[in-house]
Homo-oligomer: A and B are copies of this chain.
Amino acid sequence: MENKLKSMGLAAREAARSLALAGRKEKDRALREMASSIRSRRDSIVEANGLDLEEGRKAGLSEPLLERLTLDDGRIESMAAGLEQIAVLPDPIGSGLGSYINEDGLEISRVRVPLGVIGMIYESRPNVTADAAGLCLKSGNAVILRGGKEAHHSNRAIAEAIGKALGNVGFPAGAVQLLDDPGREATQALMALDSLDVLIPRGGKGLKAAVKQHAKVPVIMTGMGLCHLYVDSSADVNMAVRIAVNAKAQRPSVCNSIETLLVHSDVASRFLPPLVKAMEEAGVELRGDDRVRKVVSMNPAVDDDWDTEYLALILSIKMVDSLDQAMDHIHLHGSGHSEAIVTRDYGNSRRFLDGVDAAAVYVNASTRFTDGAVFGLGAEMGISTQKLHARGPMGVEQLTTVKFRVSGSGQIRS
């Protein structure tokens, strides 16, 4: 395994050198070729996906998981169209971040360059294979992809379509490689692969823990979200109910949905009854602390609830007596993803925006908006919940680093 990965790493390093020098036209042509190759192999991709679904059913995967795994004609068309959309994005490579002439007469400019070789580990939908390949190629990076084992037939078929396209336009095969080995050892070896400039794991708690234990290369962790909505004493109750239901129930399986609602005691008796009604209509199970359950009856929340990313139609509710108590709770239990307040108070809105440490902080809006497209970054590699390098949605710009270019005329340092 390690030898196989080592040679994949070397191929990626070599490919990265030529990708870094590839112009926008070449890269965009490659992206469009990838799209058309995926379209023309639609039948074989659907067939491969059928094998995954069959194995998944045998292995007893849940219906929602099988649904996520499924590729039909529509989803394959979206995958292809997504690559064409990446082709339309501006090329981040070479763009300048300021330049000046220093006192020695050196012309110094700071420009964006690719990271180099990216390792991407993901568990979920097979379309990530195409999205990640496209974003990495657009930003001039080589990538080694390692998808979930439930999707390995589908991922292989998609990677083959991409490889064929790269060959057609004269790009090196090392530009996009799929680590096609379902074993845990393969994942661990990838986490320690010297030739990676960065590892981007996209997944939940289990993957995060494995990364913490095994990663020997720089990491950008994505995909974890324990988000809160705080309903302030001055909140517009109708707005608060509407936002809470949207943030919890519109798509509970994603990282920008909320898991815990914090409500100020002054507004609890007005807010909780309509909230409970709306949540019940949306099919949400509620778990409250003792004070909440004195206002309306629901299941009790236990300590673990405050630290659980349900990714399901479950919401825990806690009563607080001040904005500070709400911010303390978020500080202790939040994952630094998305946090929201509903308030009519100007000062409290500012204190929340300033005082809460997360990738995205909201006043009077649903946390569900944390997304690369909404935030103007185009498609996204994932949503980073760490602070280093990239925070929040990661687009092509977040897959770059910088280089200082210095032009002189013989200057030496004195």
| Contact surface of A with B, Cβ cutoff 8 Å | 17, 20-21, 100, 102, 104, 106, 108, 113, 115-116, 197-198, 212, 216, 218-220, 236, 239, 242-243, 246-247, 250, 331, 349, 353-355, 357-366, 368-370, 374-376, 386-389, 391-392, 401-414
Contacts and interface: CB of A to CB of B under 8 A. Distances in A.
A377 to B, nearest CB: 10
Task: Give the secondary structure class of A's interface.
Answer: mixed
A20 B366 CA distance: 25
Q: Which one of A21, A359, A360, A369 has the highest number of Cβ atoms from chain B below 10 Å of its Cβ? A: A369
- Shortest beta-carbon contacts, A-B, top 6: A365-B408, A246-B412, A368-B413, A389-B389, A387-B401, A360-B404
B386 A392 contact: no
Given A115-B388, A218-B219, 5 more contacts: A106-B369, A218-B386, A243-B412, A362-B408, A368-B413
A216 B354 CA distance: 29
A357 B20 contact: yes
A360 B403 contact: yes
A320 B185 CA distance: 41
A196 to B, nearest CB: 11
22 contacts: A17-B357, A102-B375, A102-B376, A197-B387, A198-B388, A246-B413, A357-B403, A359-B404, A360-B404, A361-B404, A361-B406, A362-B406, A362-B408, A365-B407, A365-B408, A365-B412, A375-B404, A387-B401, A388-B401, A389-B389, A391-B403, A392-B403
B108 A375 contact: yes
A335 to B, nearest CB: 14
A378 B402 CA distance: 18
Contacts of A365: 106, 406-412
A361 B369 CA distance: 40
